[in-house]
Amino acid sequence: MDRKDWPLKVLVAGPGVVPEGRSDEPVSQKAYDDAVAYFEERARLISERSSRVPADGPAAPHAPAIQLYHSYPRQRVDDPGTVVCRP
């Protein structure tokens, strides 16, 4: 748990209840309202964020750059073209 968990602990405990891990004082209504506002603000920021675009290219694939409609020839070809690119 870290400091960012405090709003969640306050929200779960509710006003007038001592949060888990604390033995000093119960949650005040102001602290509870601040926790609710914190999560509302986070939800608003997440909804406003633009959708992410993958860094390595588009999400949907494009058509392949090279299409080879040629089988392996039994004899040497004078102009192999893109056939030489095949493994």
Q: Which of 45, 40, 86 is nearest to 67 (CA)?
A: 86
According to DSSP, residue 40 is labeled H
User: What count of other Cβ atoms lies within 10 Å of the Cβ of residue 83?
Assistant: 13
Per-residue model confidence (pLDDT) at position 33: 94
Tens-digit pLDDT string for the chain (87 aa): 556 788 888 888 899 988 887 768 888 999 999 999 999 999 998 888 877 766 777 777 777 777 666 666 677 778 877 767 766
Per-residue model confidence (pLDDT) at position 39: 92
Per-residue model confidence (pLDDT) at position 53: 67
The ranges assigned to domains in the chain are: 3-48
Per-residue model confidence (pLDDT) at position 70: 62
d(CA 37, CA 16): 18
d(CA 34, CA 7): 8
